[in-house]
Amino acid sequence: MKKIMNVPDQFVDQSLAGILKAHPGLLKAAPEDGRAIVRADAPVRGKVAIVTGGGYGHLPLFLGYVGKGLCSGCAVGNVFTSPSCETVVNATKVVSGGKGVLYLIGNYMGDQMNFEMAADVVGMENIETVLIRAADDVASAPREKWEDRRGIAGILFAYKIAGAMAERGHSLQEVEKTTRKACERIATFGVAFTSCQLPEAAAPIFEISGDEMELGMGIHGEKGVKRCKMMNAHELADYMVGTVIQDLSLTKGNKVAVLVNGLGSTSQEEQYILYGEVADILKTKGIDVAKAFVGEYVTSMEMAGVSITLFHLDDELEDLLKDPMYTPFVKL
Partner 1 sequence: MEYKIDQVKEILKYCAELVSEQKEQLEKIDSQVGDGDLGISMQKGAAAIAGEADSFEGNDPGALFMKCAMALNKAAPSTMGTLICAGLMQMGKTFSKKETVTEAEAAEIPSLFAQAIMARGKAKEGDRTVLDALLPMAEAVKTAFGSGRALSEAFAAGAEAAKNGMEKTRDMVPKIGRSKWAPENAKGVPDGGAVLCWIVAQGLADRAGR
Active site amino acids? 58, 220
Sequence-separated (6 or more) residues with CB below 8 Å from residue 202 = none
Q: Does residue 4 touch partner 1 according to CB under 8 A? A: no
Shortest distance in whole angstroms from residue 222 CB to partner 1: 7
Q: Does residue 52 touch partner 1 according to CB under 8 A? A: no
Rounded to whole angstroms, how far apart are CA atoms 171 and 98? 11
Q: Which of 20, 117, 231, 281 binds partner 1 (CB under 8 A)?
A: 117
End-to-end Cα separation, the chain, in angstroms: 33
- 132 or 166, CB closer to partner 1? 132
Q: Which stretch binds partner 1 (CB under 8 A): 77-85, 92-100, 163-171, 275-283?
A: 77-85
**What is the b/e burial string over 104-131, where b = at least 16 CB atoms within 10 angstroms of the residue's CB?**
bbbbbeebbebbeebbebbeeeebbbbb
Q: Which stretch binds partner 1 (CB under 8 A): 57-65, 75-83, 149-157, 292-300?
A: 75-83
Q: Does residue 110 touch partner 1 according to CB under 8 A? A: yes
- 80 or 189, CB closer to partner 1? 80
Shortest distance in whole angstroms from residue 182 CB to partner 1: 24
Sequence-separated (6 or more) residues with CB below 8 Å from residue 135 = 106, 107, 141, 146, 147, 148, 149, 150, 151, 183
Rounded to whole angstroms, how far apart are CA atoms 113 and 146? 19
Q: Which of 54, 57, 67, 77 binds partner 1 (CB under 8 A)?
A: 77
Q: Does residue 83 touch partner 1 according to CB under 8 A? A: yes
Shortest distance in whole angstroms from residue 85 CB to partner 1: 5
Task: Please say whether the beta carbons of 166 and 203 come within 8 A.
Answer: no
Rounded to whole angstroms, how far apart are CA atoms 36 and 34? 6
Our measurement of the distance from residue 19's CA atom to the centroid of its chain's CA atoms, rounded to an integer in Å, reads: 19
- 117 or 281, CB closer to partner 1? 117
Q: Which of 52, 84, 197, 299 binds partner 1 (CB under 8 A)?
A: 84
Percentage helix, strand, coil for the chain under 3-state DSSP, each rounded to 5: 35, 25, 40
Q: What residue ranges bind partner 1 (CB under 8 A)?
A: 77, 81-87, 109-110, 113-114, 116-117, 120, 222-223
